Structure 1
């Protein structure tokens, strides 16, 4: 319990630091959101007597109050899900990001799943056929593909399959003419629009997983307990699945969980290329248009996802690896 409380306490402290940093950026950034918003309101000849009320609606605290009061008001608003109002988007920041977040999680989860499954399958087979033409060919392909930035591949896929051959849509997450719901036409449209974004991440990502799985599997194949399992007459399939694959995947477990969280941050460029309306696209628009409340809201939401990913990985690692029983050994990052 002491170890669990320590990890949860670290996560809470990290989230508090993120919220505090966002407050500092909003409040003290030179030429930041407060000065920017006041100037914009004065251009519209709004009386100064009501400018503070507008500012409070946008950034969740009164700029003329004492600093500690502003900070308490801001933290209280964030805890209640009030991240202020977007400057150039219609609606509150939390509502905008809450509608966009499921689409980003959808892409990140499927991309991570496909990348992991394909990478583990190829990596395990490469280890069992070490030195073969298949091993050498896949290793070369994985090394080359891993060096290609995903956004370069994304632009190439959009040009070829979107504009040149017109096989896939170049933007959006679903056909707007369809009624949202769990029905085949709607699901089919969602998957159809997600093909190119998923390909751009999985094609360059599975090779790294395969190489990691290959290296881990080769090192495990030389262990004494593998030799004992063979001497006992256990089937090759059982040795491969229960002894080699299971232990080879353990070092990769934390990275797999964290990759979902970090894909939320990497979605900024990807969703901009494919005009995919996830949290990354809105964060990009916020940066370009200096929409500070939306920018800070995106920062808080993405950082929270990363912290939760680290916490889940740390809390669950000992469940899949009983050897990690002591507090010092249970550090998964």
Structure 2
């Protein structure tokens, strides 16, 4: 068992190392290479080449005239120390900007994913127990229809009606800037109101898929022999539903929950652009539009590492919630 954890942990470090190397290489494959435009602008200002190289080196933690392997070593060394360079646009460390934007993205991603899974689990469980009923048919139809709607289409509709037409929610931002006390109840309510529409956009389009998955898992578990044995033993329907059916039906969805958290961190670019929500996704998009290479590299690296860590946590914890994984047992978990 120890070897399993060692292998998984080693794989995480290898993956992160590969992502950092890929980020370094991909940015340099862009047309003109990084900082070409900035170099031209600085030279036009009359700065000597030595000063231009010094400023560029401060932005990315590499010497632009050094050999590529030296630049690679300098970049990797700085990144391992959480030094991702300095943003060209903000003239501030990339780490500071990421630290400011990340909580907002994490907020809408975590809340929407939790609501989506909670709603999907409840609806799917009820559908399984009422299989074939009108409720089951109606919810399945709505779920399939909801899965076919892209989240950004729903986001635009929510923004159009709830913000611009009915003025129920703010159309942009993360909180009311006029509220100075960030620990007040008024500020918390403002944060919730600003994040409500992005959260709903992610939640509504995803809850149907989770409901259908939970329904299928529950129906499969209900047909297992151990459920019939539990009924013959005289156990109540409530205990069978929670202790046997729900637990075994939810287990296959656990890994998907953690993976979806990681994937959604990278998928917030469009959502945050629609609502002008200043999170990691919007910062990455702005960095691309501004040719802000250090910001681009740093944001992409943070989002990718978050996904890798999500997969790692899923690997380590799945065996804890389902002992069959660690024991190699294929029987049902009671």
Partner of 1:163: 164
| RMSD (Å), alpha carbons | 1.4
- Rounded Cα–Cα distance in structure 2 between residues aligned with 1:33 and 1:246: 51
Instruction: Give the TM-score of the pair, scaled to structure 1.
Output: 0.96
Q: Contact 1:26–1:34 at 8 Å: present in 2 too?
A: no
Offset of 1:28 from its aligned partner? 4.2
Structure 2 counterpart of 1:253:
254
Say whether residues 1:129 and 2:126 are aligned partners.
no
1:55 maps to which residue? 56
Asked if the contact 2:35–2:293 (Cα under 8 Å) also holds between the matched residues in 1, the reply is no
The alpha-carbon distance between structure 1 residues 170 and 285, as it changes in their structure 2 partners (threshold 3 A), is same
Q: Give 1:155 shift.
A: 0.6
CA distance in 1, matches of 2:66, 2:244: 63
Alignment deviations for residues 32-63 of structure 1 (CA, whole Å, 9 cap, x no partner): 21323212222322211211101101111002
Shift of 1:214: 0.1
Whether the 8 Å CA contact 1:158–1:274 is kept in 2: the answer is: yes
Deviation per CA, 1:117-145, whole angstroms, max 9, x where unpaired?
Answer: 10000000000000000000000000000
Please, which runs of 5 or more residues in structure 1 have no aligned partner? none
Aligned pairs, number: 329
In 2 relative to 1, CA 61–328 (structure 1 residues): closer, same or farther, beyond 3 Å?
farther
List per-residue Cα deviations over 1:147-169 (Å, max 9, x = no partner). 10000000111111111111110
Conserved 8 A contact 1:123-1:212: yes
- Are 1:33 and 2:34 an aligned pair? yes
**Counterpart position of 2:43:** 42
Q: 1:328 to 1:274 in 2, by over 3 A?
A: farther
8 Å Cα contact 1:174/1:190 also seen in 2: yes
Q: 1:280, 1:113 → 2: CA distance?
A: 20
Partners of 1:40 and 1:19 lie apart in 2 by: 28
- Confirm whether residue 181 of structure 1 aligns to residue 207 of structure 2: no
| Aligned mates of 1:40, 1:81 — CA distance in 2 | 29
